[in-house]
């Protein structure tokens, strides 16, 4: 297998890790033809064709489809630098992971790399895709479970859909993902469309996994030989490291919260960005977190407690209704008077097409296109709640124009008082052509596009930076003048 070198200057480190082979281990992402055609129209639009030509546009689109089904080549964790220095967390994490590797008979050498520009991020190179031989004994899991396995998780019992008829604790099995969601729970021999994700050891008997009337809990299969090997962070330094995609960490820094400010996270669950905002403020000020699903509020509160953050106040409330018509209202909870917040984060509900790995998208085109109106309702509320001179950051984890650059163009037209702002750090690409924005405006946007690093890795011998091999993500920063 080839070796890949990441060369950087100044802050950057020289790394050497295994590069992915150009030949994919499993197929490109599976989706309905109408969705594929829709995405193709996005990535091969007239503005793109004018700049790069049809052949290059088509190649980039095909690379994107391949990349989405594979995990990023780095696992990213956010260090709780409000509790301890990065160097200390780095050391403690290394020691913990060495213990885990020794217990599971894996190679004890653990590479942990500080990010050169994002000062509270640690990166762990992922080894894969690896050559793993499939076994005759098969366990079938749901697509979401398989996606987690590809990023280092074990198989938890609730994710298991089918297993060998007489599977018992200690059996070595191959784990497959059900690509079409058609495997009947409790199946013993599934012949539908599936894809191999690695081998593991059964930690539960079949009878206990599919016991009627009692939901299965805990690890069902411990992965010992996965296609992609990366550390499992289950229970590892829970107050000091938080598993989070790199662009999601960048959002908090782009928002740039300051101690003493009042900040709103409009769609906050599960609370990773909320907690990061509070940590960046030194837990001094007020971070209001909203989510319309009550069970998710408990998750935000639990994460805040684990990370020892006191400045977070979480409320179960619909963000589209968060502005009060009564300017004299004084209660601490929603709805709030207009211009109540110094900064607002609108990490909007979206189609999530940038999530990786994602081997199968079963949504219809109608479902994918349903998010734009909701995002605009939330945007209206966000602008009203923002103080004059305040900062609004809009972000999504999707790759469409309609939910990203087109929303920026709409916002600038709808709200003349909003102006685009420079983002720091800016480690992704600029905005995508196709929404009619100027080159200056596109330069101020930040789009993380998964296909970029695959393009570099597989078609040339150029160095590849971790910044490019992330989930698909989009960030825009506005100021209310």
Instruction: Please provide residue 34's backbone torsions phi and psi, each rounded to the nearest 5 degrees.
Output: -65, -35
- CA 77 to chain centroid, in Å, comes to 12
CA distances from 72 to 92, 347, 448 (A): 24, 21, 12
- How confident is the prediction along the chain (481 residues), in pLDDT tens digits per residue? 333 333 333 333 333 333 333 333 566 788 899 999 999 999 999 999 999 999 999 999 998 998 898 999 899 999 999 999 999 999 999 999 988 777 665 555 678 999 999 999 999 999 888 999 999 999 999 999 999 999 989 999 999 999 999 999 999 999 999 988 899 999 999 999 999 999 999 999 999 999 887 778 899 999 999 999 988 787 899 999 999 999 999 999 999 999 999 999 999 999 999 999 999 999 999 999 999 999 999 999 999 999 999 999 999 999 999 999 877 777 788 999 999 999 999 999 999 999 999 988 889 999 999 999 999 999 999 999 999 999 999 999 999 999 999 999 999 999 999 999 999 999 999 999 999 999 999 999 999 988 644 333 333 332 345 566 899 999 999 999 9
Q: Token digits for 472?
A: 């698909």
Cα 221 vs. chain centroid, distance in angstroms? Answer: 24
> What is the signed CA dihedral for 431, 437, 439, 441, rounded to 10 degrees?
-70
CB 281 within 8 A of CB 304: no
Residue 401: strand pairing partners: none
pLDDT single digits (tens) 144-189: 999 999 998 999 999 999 999 999 999 999 999 998 889 999 999 9
**Per-residue model confidence as pLDDT tens digits over 311-336:** 999 999 999 999 998 777 777 889 99
For residues 122 and 417, give the distance between their C-alpha atoms in angstroms, rounded to a whole number: 38
Tokens linked to 66: 């391949």
Query: Is 218 within 8 Å of 200 (Cβ atoms)?
Result: no
Q: What ranges do the domains of the chain cover?
A: 138-226, 245-480
Q: CB atoms < 10 A from the CB of 373, how many?
A: 9
Cα gap 264→386, rounded to integer Å? 9
Q: Could you list the active site residues? A: 397
For 455, the enclosing helix (H) or strand (E) is helix 451-459
What residues are paired with 288 via a beta bridge? Answer: 264, 313
Question: Quick count: other Cβ atoms within 10 Å of Cβ 24?
Answer: 15
Which residue stretches of 202-245 are H helix?
A: 206-209
Instruction: Tell me how far apart the alpha carbons of residues 214 and 199 are, in angstroms, rounded to a whole number.
Output: 27
Instruction: End-to-end CA distance of the chain: give it in Å, rounded.
Output: 54
Q: Which CATH architecture has domain 138-226?
A: Roll (2.30)
Classify domain 245-480 at the CATH topology level: Rossmann fold (3.40.50)
Q: Is 224 within 8 Å of 104 (Cβ atoms)?
A: yes
Provide the 8-state DSSP code for 308.
T
Give the largest CA-CA distance in the chain: 69
Distance in angstroms (rounded) separating the CA atoms of residues 88 and 46? 51
Rounded CA separation 290/238 (Å): 23
């Amino acid at each position: 297998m080839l070796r890949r070198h990441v060369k950087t200057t100044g802050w950057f480190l020289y790394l050497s890790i295994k590069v992915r082979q150009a030949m994919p281990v499993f197929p490109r992402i599976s989706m309905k033809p109408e969705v594929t055609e829709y995405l193709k129209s996005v990535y091969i639009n007239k503005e793109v064709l004018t700049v790069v030509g049809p052949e290059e546009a088509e190649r980039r689109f095909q690379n994107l489809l391949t990349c989405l089904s594979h995990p990023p080549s780095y696992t990213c964790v956010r260090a709780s630098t409000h509790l301890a220095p990065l160097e200390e967390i780095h050391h403690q994490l290394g020691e913990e992971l060495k213990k885990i590797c020794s217990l599971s008979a894996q190679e004890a050498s653990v590479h942990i790399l500080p990010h050169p520009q994002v000062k509270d991020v640690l990166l762990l190179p992922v080894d894969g895709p690896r050559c793993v031989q499939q076994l005759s004994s098969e366990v079938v899991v749901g697509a979401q479970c398989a996606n987690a396995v590809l990023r280092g998780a074990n198989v938890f019992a609730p994710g298991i859909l089918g297993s060998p008829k007489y599977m018992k604790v200690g059996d070595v099995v191959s784990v497959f993902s059900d690509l079409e969601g058609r495997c009947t729970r409790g199946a013993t021999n599934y012949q539908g469309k599936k894809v191999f994700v690695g081998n593991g050891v059964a930690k539960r008997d079949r009878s206990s996994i599919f016991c009627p009337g009692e939901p299965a809990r805990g690890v069902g299969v411990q992965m010992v030989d996965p296609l992609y090997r990366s550390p499992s962070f289950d229970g590892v330094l829970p107050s000091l490291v938080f598993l989070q995609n790199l662009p999601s960490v960048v959002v908090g820094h782009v928002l740039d919260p300051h101690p003493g400010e009042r900040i709103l996270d409009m769609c906050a669950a599960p609370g990773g960005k909320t907690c990061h905002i509070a940590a960046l403020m030194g837990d001094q000020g007020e971070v209001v977190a909203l989510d319309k699903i009550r069970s998710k509020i408990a998750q935000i509160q639990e994460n805040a407690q684990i990370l020892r953050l006191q400045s977070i106040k979480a409320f179960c409330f619909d963000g589209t209704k968060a502005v009060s018509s009564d300017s004299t209202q004084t209660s601490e909870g929603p709805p709030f008077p207009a211009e109540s917040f110094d900064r607002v984060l609108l990490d909007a509900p979206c189609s999530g097409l940038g999530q990786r790995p994602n081997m199968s998208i079963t949504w219809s085109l109608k479902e994918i296109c349903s998010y734009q109106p909701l995002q605009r309702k939330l945007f209206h509320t966000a602008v009203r709640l923002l103080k004059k001179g305040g900062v609004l950051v809009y972000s999504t984890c999707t790759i469409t124009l309609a939910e990203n650059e087109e929303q920026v163009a709409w916002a600038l037209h709808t709200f003349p008082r909003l102006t685009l702002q420079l983002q720091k750090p800016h480690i992704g690409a600029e905005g995508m052509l196709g929404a009619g924005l100027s080159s200056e405006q596109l330069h101020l946007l930040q789009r993380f596009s998964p296909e970029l690093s695959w393009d570099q890795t597989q078609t040339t011998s150029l160095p590849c930076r971790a910044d490019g091999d992330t989930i698909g993500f989009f960030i825009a920063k506005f100021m209310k003048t």
